[in-house]
Structure 1
Amino acid sequence: MLDLLAIVLPVFLVVGAGYAAVWRGLFKDSAVDGLMAFTQKFAIPCLLFSAIATLDLGAELDLGLLIAFYSGSTLCFFAGLFGARLLFNRPWTDSVAIGFSALFANTVLLGLPISERAYGVDALGPNYTIIAFHAAFCYLLGITTMEIVRAETRGVRLAGTVVKAMFQNSLMIGIGLGFIVNLTGLPIPGVLREALDLMIRAALPAALFGLGGVLYRYRPEGDVGVIAMICGLSLIMHPAVAFGLGTGLGLSTPQLQSAVITAAMAPGVNTYIFADMYGCARRVAATSVLVGTALTVLTAAAWIAIVG
């Protein structure tokens, strides 16, 4: 178990360093916003662009992998939605935001560095395949459901709302450009490649440190029962479904590892952004990110042990 924690802990030590730096006043809160803007709008899109542009789509784009991961995501979304409504009597809009918290795993800031430490850089192909569809899938499901329960948007307006939310996302832009380069075979000039590599090397460490600073803003408050449900769905149910389906569908060992470990990540910061966008369940979403991230230290190590 100590060996497994040694894989996971360095990632969370960087997150903890960011948390402590903001807590002790060594890193200004306004600087966190700047750091996260750099990583989320520039460095990580460069990382995803480069990864997708060079991804062997014939080898990595596997339908079974996507079914194993996104079936679990979808089940967690509806379990969170109806659990919040039927068990905790939350309004429908709150329930959708709570379901979104169980849906949107932190596939990039936590999933990539933990998978890299556990299995190496060369094993990240299936991770990038999952990430390529993640934001689009989650926002499509979350926004469509929210607009339906609010009964305020229909037809073309609904489609426009979904498309706008997805394609204003810098990560989606980086992924989309990566697919264009991959499918067209456009060469990336050597100088541009070196510039991208510089950005990529800064992406994950800076993002993890910034994530710690963001988490300091979230106070552990809100409905304990709902938060426990979200964490249970995100950290236990989602990877369990991915493991069961992935095994049944005959995924290779690297694919199964990527599907399960990525599914086992805590809710991402986007869950709070979604809740804030609609003005509902913001405290629950924020606290779920904080508590879920802390619990991932143990649950990620456990899932690494299970999948090998």
Structure 2
Amino acid sequence: MQALLDVILPVFAVIGFGYLAVWRGWFDGAHVDGLMRFTQNFAIPCLLFSAIARLDLGSDFDWRLLLSFYTGALTSFLAGTLIAHHLFGRGIEDAIAVGFCCLFSNSVLLGLPITERAYGADALSANFAIIALHSPFCYGVGITAMELARARGASSGVLLLRVGRAMFSNALIIGIALGFVVNLTELPLPVPLWDALDLLSRAALPAALFGLGGVLVQYRPEGDLRLIACVMALSLLLHPLITRGLTVAFDLPAAATRSAVITAAMAPGVNSYIFANMYGRARRVAASSVLLATAASVVTAWMWLAFLP
């Protein structure tokens, strides 16, 4: 119960304040769009750039950590796609969009603040190692699967061009890539620039959490509720369960285990809806999954915290 009060509720309280402010008309929806553009295109890329540029790549990028997390993510994507297509009779493109909801956990807006509140800012190295590959991996899987389904005879070169264009127009991926460049080349940056990046980074998470609450106002629990329940089960239970099992099998250190499982246990991110909207597929299911799974993760995140070392 203490973990719920001290760790999880403050994070969701900020989301709730954003939801309430927009719902009651105290904060305009257009302003929420501007706030989310600021966080997703500027503040969060700066946060990721700074974190990746300063990571100890040799120790933080543990293959056991990444394999534990991404095996669970990929399994959830395949399960969601197959269930939507074969059990619920959705077309393959709709099914891929549903699978993407099961693949893309909210690693930044929920995973980072919950891990930080539970274990401190020094416990985030493994989170950043996962996040460094998260958008490239998830968009790579989702876009490749969708473009293959839509290809209808397109050449492999055209397919690769579509995937690359869609991935590297994403500000988060650009921030991550630039962070790797600075880290690997040991490029010195002026201290005032680092200070400016740190200022933007500190604004990223609280602003994004408030904005996320405002964004959720426009979503409604519509569509096939049974399919949405499957998405929630795969995202909140199957993904972290597989990740936890593999961390035990690989004897992963406790700090990395906590980061991997908490990140895996997060609700589908807003990017799930962005992906569905980009292709015009399963948008209602994606929007409803983001809303309902975010609400349910108040309880499931508390449960997973209780099972972690």
Shared fold, TM over 0.5: yes
Secondary structure of 2:188 counterpart: coil
Residues 223-260 of structure 1 show CA distances to partners (whole Å, capped at 9, x for unaligned) of: 00110000000000000000000110111000100110
Q: Determine the structure 1 residue equivalent to 2:117.
A: 117
CA distance in 2, matches of 1:142, 1:40: 20
Cα shift at 1:151: 3.0
CA distance in 2, matches of 1:280, 1:61: 34
CA distance in 2, matches of 1:149, 1:265: 28
Q: Determine the structure 1 residue equivalent to 2:183.
A: 182
Report whether the alignment pairs 1:229 with 2:264. Answer: no
Q: Contact 1:68–1:259 at 8 Å: present in 2 too?
A: yes
CA distance in 2, matches of 1:3, 1:259: 18
Cα shift at 1:147: 1.5
Q: Determine the structure 2 residue equivalent to 1:34.
A: 34
Q: Determine the structure 2 residue equivalent to 1:291.
A: 292
Q: Determine the structure 1 residue equivalent to 2:218.
A: 217
Residues 191-235 of structure 1 show CA distances to partners (whole Å, capped at 9, x for unaligned) of: 111111110111100000000010101011110011000000000
Q: Determine the structure 1 residue equivalent to 2:200.
A: 199
For 1:129-144, list aligned pairs within 5 A. 129-144=129-144
Residues 59-116 of structure 1 show CA distances to partners (whole Å, capped at 9, x for unaligned) of: 1011111100000000000000000011111111110000000000000000000000
Secondary structure of 1:250 counterpart: coil
CA distance in 1, matches of 2:224, 2:155: 32
Q: Contact 1:4–1:305 at 8 Å: present in 2 too?
A: no
Return the letter of the residue paired with 1:188. Answer: L
CA distance in 1, matches of 2:303, 2:148: 38
TM-score with structure 2 length normalisation? 0.98
Residues 15-40 of structure 1 show CA distances to partners (whole Å, capped at 9, x for unaligned) of: 01000000000000000000000000
Q: Contact 2:151–2:159 at 8 Å: present in 1 too?
A: no
Q: Contact 1:5–1:297 at 8 Å: present in 2 too?
A: no
Residues 93-143 of structure 1 show CA distances to partners (whole Å, capped at 9, x for unaligned) of: 110000000000000000000000011100100000000000111111111
Cα shift at 1:283: 0.1
Residues 243-289 of structure 1 show CA distances to partners (whole Å, capped at 9, x for unaligned) of: 00011011100010011000000000011111111111000000000
Secondary structure of 1:187 counterpart: coil
Return the letter of the residue paired with 1:30. Answer: A
Q: Contact 2:46–2:200 at 8 Å: present in 1 too?
A: yes
Cα shift at 1:4: 3.2
Cα shift at 1:294: 0.4
Number of equivalenced pairs: 308
Return the letter of the residue paired with 1:63. Answer: W
Return the letter of the residue paired with 1:190. Answer: V
Q: Determine the structure 2 residue equivalent to 1:168.
A: 169
Report whether the alignment pairs 1:301 with 2:302. Answer: yes
Residues 141-196 of structure 1 show CA distances to partners (whole Å, capped at 9, x for unaligned) of: 11111112223343011111111111111011111110001001111211111111
CA distance in 2, matches of 1:85, 1:59: 40
TM-score with structure 1 length normalisation? 0.98
Secondary structure of 1:273 counterpart: helix
Return the letter of the residue paired with 2:90. Answer: R
Return the letter of the residue paired with 1:60. Answer: D
Return the letter of the residue paired with 2:155. Answer: R
Unaligned runs of 5+ in 2: none
Over 4 Å off, 4+ runs: none
Q: Contact 1:98–1:285 at 8 Å: present in 2 too?
A: yes
CA distance in 1, matches of 2:14, 2:140: 32
CA distance in 2, matches of 1:249, 1:10: 33
For 1:43-122, list aligned pairs within 5 A. 43-122=43-122
CA distance in 1, matches of 2:85, 2:70: 23
Q: Contact 1:4–1:304 at 8 Å: present in 2 too?
A: no
Q: Which range moves more in the overlay, 156-165 or 259-268?
A: 156-165
For 1:256-271, list aligned pairs within 5 A. 256-271=257-272
CA distance in 2, matches of 1:155, 1:89: 29
